[in-house]
């Protein structure tokens, strides 16, 4: 029988902050979004204070004095590196894995030669903690959806492991205790539709008439019902499909009316988007540049975008920047305080599958060699070591990150120094 495990890092961003700063252990932690805008991650202690996800930072800042809340700027370099370390540990111990998100990973344990899978998961959980410092919870199930349900239960238990792969009676109790809206793949609209039909729990959904499920939720909903029944419909995605779009955008630290500032931001975002394309081995056939004001701010509002083709399809930074700047010129309108800009690359494909026409010259191989050299240099010496355009120090469009922790594992300057007494 197929057996899946879902390994989920507990309060991942907060746990990452504690790895190199043990003084944060036991304290309520709230990690903030870009520009320190709102809460995007909380420790258990912060959840106990009643801080909801998405709360604007200014609404909970008073808790810093009254309850010892620690508010930190997001440090994605640190989180990404520790995530890679956790995933490498899981890959070393499991036959096959699927990295589902920055803090979640599915394991296919079918055929694993161990007598007690639950005990093996406990040992794996301890290994991840010892090797990376990140606590995890593990849920076991005969399908990926049931493994998700099991993980939800494991996160609330002291043991940190829940096994729904071996005992059907445990599955019934777990599904009856799981609201239908918490089932993997059931969004807000489907949960509302289920509630209107008297389907309140995951157990109710599992036993819902298939004709109703097919009519109201389609094939996707039917697959979810089958998975809740223990039928493994979703296997591990070893080779996920290529994405069709690539976006790089940012909300500025403060609004700006300077055309030069906004264009500098667009150039940087175009460069980052091109780097992502080359990392994934893709090329883009079109791109859109967009700019907008702060929709929650005072004053006149403006939101505009312009799309241009990339012919031939390319991942060349210079071509993408040139096209982004031309599109930006069509977007720009004087007299507005812009708060956000971005670049969206469209119609992504593999280079060998990209369409060709008779009137466009083929890509210059020297440009491809130049991009490879730039990527290699930036990988060795740090992103942005070689870039197009001059960086603007303290630009208005830069992010506010007043309380960001050091990048302990990705910057030489931030490596912790061990001191002996």
User: Which neighbouring-strand residues pair with 249?
Assistant: 342
Instruction: Say if residue 317's pLDDT is above 90.
Output: yes
Collapsed DSSP state (helix, strand, coil) of residue 107 = strand
* pLDDT for the residue numbered 240: 67
Place of tokens 């002291």: 158
* pLDDT for the residue numbered 81: 92
* pLDDT for the residue numbered 47: 94
User: Which neighbouring-strand residues pair with 9?
Assistant: 136
- Give the distance from CA 258 to its chain's centroid: 31
Higher pLDDT, 356 or 182: 182
Q: Which strand ranges, in their side-by-side order, compose the sheet holding 246-256? A: 246-256, 338-346, 284-293, 303-314
- 262 close to 342: Cβ distance less than 8 angstroms: no
Close Cβ partners of 301 (under 8 Å, ≥ 6 residues apart): 293, 295, 336
- 141 close to 150: Cβ distance less than 8 angstroms: yes
d(CA 311, CA 251): 29
3-state DSSP helix/strand/coil percent for the chain, to nearest 5? Answer: 40, 20, 35
- The stretches of 229-304 forming alpha helices (DSSP H) are 259-280
Residue 400 confidence class, pLDDT cut points 50, 70, 90: low
Instruction: Say if residue 223's pLDDT is above 90.
Output: yes
* pLDDT for the residue numbered 107: 95
Six-digit token pair at 15? 């746990």
How distant, in Å, are the alpha carbons of 25, 239, 374 from that of 346?
44, 21, 23
Burial status of residue 132 (CB atoms within 10 A of its CB: 0-12, 13-18, 19 or more): buried
* pLDDT for the residue numbered 404: 85
Residue 275 confidence class, pLDDT cut points 50, 70, 90: very high
* pLDDT for the residue numbered 298: 81
Digit-coded pLDDT (tens) for 283-294: 999 999 999 998
Instruction: Say if residue 395's pLDDT is above 70.
Output: no
Q: What percent of the chain has pLDDT over 90?
A: 60
Element (H, E) at 120: helix 117-132
Instruction: Say if residue 351's pLDDT is above 80.
Output: yes
Instruction: Say if residue 296's pLDDT is above 80.
Output: no
Instruction: Say if residue 388's pLDDT is above 70.
Output: yes
CB atoms inside a 10 Å sphere around CB 381: 10
CB atoms inside a 10 Å sphere around CB 181: 16
Collapsed DSSP state (helix, strand, coil) of residue 79 = helix
How distant, in Å, are the alpha carbons of 61, 79, 98 from that of 102?
27, 8, 11
Place of tokens 């309060």: 11
Residue 113 confidence class, pLDDT cut points 50, 70, 90: confident
- 145 close to 166: Cβ distance less than 8 angstroms: no
Q: What angle do CA 299, 305, 306 make, to 5 degrees?
A: 150
Higher pLDDT, 61 or 416: 61
d(CA 255, CA 261): 10
* pLDDT for the residue numbered 297: 78
pTM of the model: 0.78
Instruction: Say if residue 393's pLDDT is above 60.
Output: no
User: Which neighbouring-strand residues pair with 38?
Assistant: 56
- 268 close to 399: Cβ distance less than 8 angstroms: no
Instruction: Say if residue 391's pLDDT is above 70.
Output: no
Instruction: Say if residue 363's pLDDT is above 90.
Output: no
User: Which neighbouring-strand residues pair with 346?
Assistant: 286
- 204 close to 198: Cβ distance less than 8 angstroms: yes
* pLDDT for the residue numbered 394: 60
* pLDDT (mean) for 56-72: 93
Least confident of 60-69, 128-137, 159-168, 329-338: 159-168
* pLDDT for the residue numbered 387: 83
Average pLDDT score, the chain: 89
- The residue ranges of DSSP E strands in 238-346, in sequence order, are 246-256, 284-293, 303-314, 338-346
- The Cβ-side half-sphere exposure at 306, using a 13 Å CA radius, reads 13
* pLDDT (mean) for 102-114: 90
Digit-coded pLDDT (tens) for 228-237: 999 999 888 8
d(CA 162, CA 271): 45
Instruction: Say if residue 378's pLDDT is above 70.
Output: yes
Compute, in degrees rounded to 10, the torsion defined by CA atoms 82, 84, 85, 87: 120
| Domains of the chain and CATH, by start | 4-9+79-228 (3.30.70.270), 12-74 (3.40.1170.60), 246-381 (3.30.1490.100)
Digit-coded pLDDT (tens) for 166-219: 877 789 999 999 999 999 989 888 899 999 999 999 999 999 998 899 988 889
Instruction: Say if residue 270's pLDDT is above 60.
Output: yes
Collapsed DSSP state (helix, strand, coil) of residue 71 = strand
Place of tokens 């520009």: 35
Residue 328 confidence class, pLDDT cut points 50, 70, 90: very high
């Amino acid at each position: 029988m197929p057996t899946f495990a879902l390994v989920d890092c507990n309060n991942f961003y907060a746990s990452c902050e504690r790895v190199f700063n043990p003084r944060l252990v036991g304290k309520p932690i709230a990690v903030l979004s870009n520009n320190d805008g709102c809460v995007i991650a909380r420790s258990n202690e912060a959840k106990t204070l009643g801080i909801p996800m998405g709360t604007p930072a200014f609404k909970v800042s008073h808790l810093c004095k009254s309850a010892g809340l620690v508010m930190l700027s997001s440090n994605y370099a640190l989180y990404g590196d520790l995530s890679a370390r956790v995933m490498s540990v899981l890959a070393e111990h499991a036959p096959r894995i699927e990295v589902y998100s920055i803090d979640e990973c599915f394991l296919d344990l079918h055929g694993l030669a161990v007598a007690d899978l639950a005990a093996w998961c406990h040992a794996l959980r301890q290994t991840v903690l010892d090797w990376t410092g990140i606590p995890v919870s593990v849920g076991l199930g005969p399908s990926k959806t049931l493994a998700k349900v099991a993980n939800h239960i494991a996160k609330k238990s002291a043991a940190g492991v829940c096994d729904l792969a071996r005992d059907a009676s445990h599955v019934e109790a777990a599904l009856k205790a799981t609201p239908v809206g918490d089932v993997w793949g059931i969004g807000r609209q489907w949960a509302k539709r289920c509630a209107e039909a008297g389907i309140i729990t995951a157990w109710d959904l599992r036993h819902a008439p298939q004709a109703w499920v097919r009519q109201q939720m389609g094939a996707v909903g039917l697959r979810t019902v089958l998975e809740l029944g223990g039928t493994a419909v979703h296997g591990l995605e070893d080779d996920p499909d290529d994405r069709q779009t690539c976006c790089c955008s940012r909300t500025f630290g403060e609004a700006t009316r300077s055309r030069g500032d906004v264009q500098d931001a667009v150039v940087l975002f175009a460069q980052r988007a091109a780097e992502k394309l080359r990392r994934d081995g893709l090329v883009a056939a079109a791109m859109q540049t967009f700019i907008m004001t702060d929709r929650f701010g005072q004053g006149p509002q403006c939101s505009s975008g312009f799309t241009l083709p990339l012919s031939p399809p390319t991942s060349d930074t210079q071509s993408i920047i040139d096209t982004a700047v031309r599109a930006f010129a069509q977007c720009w309108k004087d007299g507005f305080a812009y708060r956000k800009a971005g670049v969206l690359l469209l119609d992504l494909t593999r280079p060998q599958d990209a369409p060709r026409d008779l009137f466009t010259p083929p890509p210059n191989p020297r440009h491809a060699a130049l991009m490879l050299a730039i990527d290699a240099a930036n990988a060795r010496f740090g992103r942005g070591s070689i870039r197009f355009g001059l960086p603007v120090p303290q630009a208005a469009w830069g992010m506010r990150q007043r309380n960001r922790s050091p990048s302990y594992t990705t910057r030489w300057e931030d490596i912790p120094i061990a001191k002996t007494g």
